[in-house]
Structure 1
Amino acid sequence: MTENEISYKIIGAAIEVHKNLGVGLLEKAYETALVYELKQLGMDVKQQISLPLKYKEVTVENAYIIDLIIENKVIVEIKAVLELNPVFYSQVLTYLKLTDLKLGLLINFNSELIKYGIHRIVNKLINE
């Protein structure tokens, strides 16, 4: 599956979760429900991935934690906030660069309409 095909399924699963749970819960509740929906679709889901950071000759263990990696191709960062801070977009882009992945989704489940809470972030440094 391509990144776009995977993201289409992720978005459908996020809509299903939002439809059933609504707004106002903690991120962990949405993450758990989204993982369930994605696994029901037969997708490979890695959750709460702690990764090291290599900086010159130094390795920082557990430098960052990615909420979800789907099919080893798409990063999903889950939020449940009143409004998305610009740093959240930068966070996803940094994760994409550090993992050499092309596509990330930033999903804010605390949106009245989930379609306004889903944002695609593309790592333009990856050659296709």
Structure 2
Amino acid sequence: MHENELSYAIRGAAFRVHTNLGPGLLETVYERILAHEIRKEGLNVHVQLGVPVVYEDEFFENGYRMDLLVENKVIVEVKSVEVLLDVHHKQLLSYLKLADKRLGLLINFNAASLKDSIVRIVNGL
């Protein structure tokens, strides 16, 4: 499945989660339930996947953790914050580059409407 098709399925799952739970919960709750919804679509999801980072001669086994990795193609960064900041966008772009992935979704569940709270970040797509 292409990244764009995966993005559509992930966004649908996110809307279902937000409709059922609403805003105001911890990120970990949204993360786990979103993973559950995505799996119901028949997709493979890794939660809190550790990713190594190599810098010069230094190797960090778990340099960072992805919230969700769907079908080994799309990184999903889950937030539950008042406002998405520029640093959140940059963080996801860095994750995409370090993991050599092309598409990421930044989803802020702490919003009245999820429509304007899903940001698509691309790395050479």
Q: TM-score range by the shorter chain?
A: over 0.9
Q: What RMSD, in angstroms, separates the aligned Cα atoms of the two structures?
A: 0.8
User: Which consecutive unaligned segments of at least 5 residues does structure 2 have?
Assistant: none
Q: Give the TM-score taking structure 1 as reference length.
A: 0.95
Shift of 1:51: 1.4
Report the identity percentage.
52
d(CA) in 1 for partners of 2:47, 2:32: 9
Once the two structures are TM-superposed, the CA of residue 58 in structure 1 deviates from its matched residue by: 1.0
For 1:54, the aligned partner's letter is: V
| Aligned residue type for 1:62 | N
Q: Deviations for 1:10-59, whole angstroms, at most 9, x for unmatched residues?
A: 00000000000001000011111101101111100011011111001110
1:82-118 Cα offsets, whole Å, 9 max, x none, are 0011101001000100111100000000011001110
Aligned to 1:110: 110
Aligned equivalents of 1:15, 1:68: Cα separation in 2 = 16
Question: What CA distance in whole angstroms lies between the structure 2 residues aligned with 1:5 and 1:121?
Answer: 15
Does the 8 Å CA contact 2:106/2:118 hold for their aligned counterparts? yes
SS of the counterpart of 1:119?
Answer: strand
2: distance between equivalents of 1:117 and 1:28?
A: 17
SS in 2 for 1:25: coil
Q: Indicate the residue corresponding to 2:52 in structure 1.
A: 52
1:62 corresponds to = 62
Q: How does 1:18-57 map to 2 (within 5 A)?
A: 18-57=18-57
User: How do 1:52-91 residues align onto structure 2 when only pairs under 5 Å count?
Assistant: 52-91=52-91
CA drift of 1:61 comes to: 2.2
Q: Shift in Å at residue 63 of structure 1?
A: 1.2
Shift of 1:60: 1.6
Q: How many residues matched?
A: 125
CA distance in 1, matches of 2:31, 2:57: 35
Corresponding residue for 1:6?
A: 6
Secondary structure of the 1:52 match is: strand
Gaps spanning 5+ residues in structure 1: where? none
Runs ≥4 in structure 1, deviation > 3 angstroms?
none
